[in-house]
Amino acid sequence: VVGYYNGQYVNPSEAAIAIDERGHEFGDGIYEVIRVYGGQPFLLEWHIERLQNSLNAIRITSPYDANGYRELIQNLLEKSGETEASIYLQITRGSAVRNHLFPAAEITPNVSAVVRPVPDKGEQTPGKLLMQPDERWANVYIKTLNLLPNIIAKQAAHDAGADEALLVRDGKMIESASSNLWFVRDGELITAPTDRYILPGITRRFVLELANELGIPVREEKLSVTELSSIDAIFITGTLSEIFAIDTVLSHPDLPVSTPLQDVAPHPIVVTPDTCKTEW
Ligand code: PLP
């Protein structure tokens, strides 16, 4: 594992960060997670593009241009010697005496990174989602450090024996806590459009490109919770979760999920409300 902080290689669990670091005090920063396969950062250009979009959205001047990011990542990979790895890259507004207002212009962003090996997952069996109300803010498209609603939802999913959360806003199924959400219905792929309420996933973008190449029809639309009963299959996508099949959706007591579940889908989905288990 190799860590990096403002030009120095560090031990990520020992490096000291100033208490008045704005990422630490306010979550005032953004991040990216990049997967490395066979020594090559996968879809790196799209990650750099999204990183720059996130920085622009919260008005942090990018400390590097695209080439600077490419070099930084190449150096980190060489230093780590890892070939199957994840790269966590974080940029915050900088360190300054705590004040909600942005610090003076001479404060420079703090850049940190960690390269970690990714173990082989082996063969995976399909997983479960737990429906949770989407309690995140209205600018989810920015990949900010403020992940408290995401981690609470994911922990609730874990506690319920599920792998991920299925976040529901205004009765619509939006995405997961750290993955995008996909449905298959009548041979069509369905995923939420990239408005401000979803994170524009790099893996989502890649799957869209693959579907396009393969001639698989795609509809970018938010499905209602009540439409679950018409779904043939579900999967989620993310840089580290890759493409992960789902065969079970657990409902949340606060959500109206009492769908008629008599239809038998080609790939069975089990919906398990708290009180009863309905298979269809
Ligand atoms: N949605 C959310 C909320 C995420 O945090 C992530 C990744 O962390 C994703 C979707 C998937 O994005 P990507 O495919 O770029 O990893």
How would you list the strands of the sheet with 40-41, edge to edge? 8-10, 2-5, 110-117, 85-92, 29-37, 40-41
Q: Which residue's C-alpha comes closest to atom 5 of ligand 1?
A: 178
- Ligand 1 lined by 175 (C-beta under 6 Å): yes
User: In terms of domains, do 92 and 194 share one?
Assistant: no
Pairing relationship of beta strands 2-5 and 85-92 according to DSSP bridges: unpaired
Return the pLDDT at 82.
97
Find residue 3's DSSP bridge partners.
10, 114
User: In terms of domains, do 204 and 84 share one?
Assistant: no
Asked if residue 122 belongs to a domain, the reply is no
Confirm whether 143 is a catalytic residue: yes
User: In terms of domains, do 113 and 138 share one?
Assistant: no
Q: What sign does the dihedral 54-59-63-68 (CA atoms) show?
A: positive
Ligand 1 centroid to 230 CA: how many Å?
A: 26
Ligand 1 centroid to 239 CA: how many Å?
A: 7
Pairing relationship of beta strands 40-41 and 85-92 according to DSSP bridges: unpaired
User: In terms of domains, do 222 and 268 share one?
Assistant: yes
Buried b (16+ CB within 10 A) or exposed e, 76-113: bbeebebeebbbbbbbbbbbbeeeeeebeeeeebbbbb
Pairing relationship of beta strands 270-272 and 242-250 according to DSSP bridges: parallel
Closest approach atom of ligand 1 to CA 33:
16
Write out the residue range of the structural domain in which residue 147 sits.
Answer: 127-279
Q: Which residue's C-alpha comes closest to atom 2 of ligand 1?
A: 178
> What DSSP line would sit under 225-264, residue for residue?
GGGGGG-SEEEEEETTTEEEEEEEEE--TTS-------S-
Ligand 1 mutation pick, 180, 198, 242, max ligand atoms within 8 A of CB: 180
Q: How far apart are the first and last CA of the chain?
A: 45
* Domain end among 83, 117, 151: 117
Q: Which residue's C-alpha comes closest to atom 8 of ligand 1?
A: 178
Asked if residue 98 belongs to a domain, the reply is yes
* Domain end among 71, 93, 117: 117
pTM of the model: 0.91
Q: Which residue's C-alpha comes closest to atom 1 of ligand 1?
A: 179
- Ligand 1 lined by 144 (C-beta under 6 Å): no
Tens digit of pLDDT per residue, the chain (280 long)? Answer: 999 999 999 999 999 999 999 999 999 999 999 999 999 999 999 999 999 999 999 999 999 999 999 999 999 999 999 999 999 999 999 999 999 999 998 899 999 999 999 999 999 998 989 888 899 999 999 999 999 999 999 998 898 889 999 999 998 999 999 999 999 999 999 999 999 999 999 999 999 999 999 999 999 999 998 888 888 899 999 999 999 999 888 876 555 443 332 333 333 344 443 323 332 2
How far is the C-alpha of 193 from the C-alpha of 185, rounded, in Å? Answer: 16
Give the residue from 161, 152, 107 showing the smallest Cα distance to 129: 161
